[in-house]
Structure 1
């Protein structure tokens, strides 16, 4: 399976990128870093710069058909930048339209709100997104990990880096079918 990890050029929370990446590799799948710009992605440890990671594919259009699933790492700046990029929003929405599974952690559901895919779904996130999720027609829950099977596309969400073990286990199980 080919798994897209969508990030902005900077601001992705490093551990929310690297731990799920390792889980994908551990499952025997192929992760690919997709971003809105070529080069490298600047990761963060909360507000401090961390490592950089090479971009495998530049998002130039709706290229979701070449991936089996999507992982959306968090960080505050990452999903905030992505939700302002129409191509990133369309790319994300395409996974839901195609019925492919999606996993999002921390602030990443901001992109799901912008893509208008949370209506009728139950999900969790960083607590400050609860009102945004409710206003977009979703149900917010305060859980370590939540798997929502409403609609055609399974959605796995978690709140924060402390939830990464449960998040990785859940999305690998869901992605495996």
Structure 2
């Protein structure tokens, strides 16, 4: 993993995030030297979903209303079925994601989290992958869906599932180190 010292990354999630899709990027990016904050709707803890049942709780570092895209280099959106479905109706979360995009910062989403990219309009005209059940939603929102492990398009990083986490985390690091991204059409 590349050195991310001096970089700050937001991981936005709520109850029902897929355990590995939050914990692996959190640990990997921290181990690379980044400051990583878990951001959620409320203070305290959020509980993960671990494949077939509730998983472990993780401490929330900040709430959505306490942060700004100005303070971060990238935003990471874990999937799971529950987490992005709950977050995609939260205007404050969608506004935060859009702020990262508008500021040409890295936006990374895995598994079902591209639902959040659909809600924000970010997928339109962009190359994207996702968990297969989200494919039709991405296409209907104007996304150019690909059946690939990880897809990168001008600082937008998407990945299919937890099996792809090492490649997903590596792409996040690479895109952060590239700096701000022009948002030309795919």
If the TM-score is normalised by the length of the shorter chain, which range does it land in?
A: over 0.9
Scaled by the length of structure 1, the TM-score of the pair is 0.94
Structure 1 residue 26 displacement after superposition: 2.1
Consecutive unaligned residues in structure 1, runs of 5 or more: none
Alignment match, 1:94: 99
Partners of 1:102 and 1:24 in 2: how far apart? 14
> Aligned-residue CA RMSD in angstroms?
1.1
Structure 1 residue 46 displacement after superposition: 2.2
Consecutive unaligned residues in structure 2, runs of 5 or more: 1-6, 179-186
Residues 31-46 of structure 1 correspond to what in structure 2 (within 5 A)?
31-46=36-51
**Structure 1 segments (4+ residues) deviating >6 Å:** none
Alignment match, 1:172: 173
Partners of 2:124 and 2:86 in 1: how far apart? 22
Aligned length: 172
Alignment match, 1:104: 109
Provide the secondary structure at the position in 2 that maps to 1:134. Answer: helix
Provide the secondary structure at the position in 2 that maps to 1:142. Answer: coil
Provide the secondary structure at the position in 2 that maps to 1:34. Answer: strand
Scaled by the length of structure 2, the TM-score of the pair is 0.89
Partners of 1:32 and 1:97 in 2: how far apart? 21
Does 1:3 pair with 2:9? yes
Contact 1:61 1:87 in 2 (8 A): no
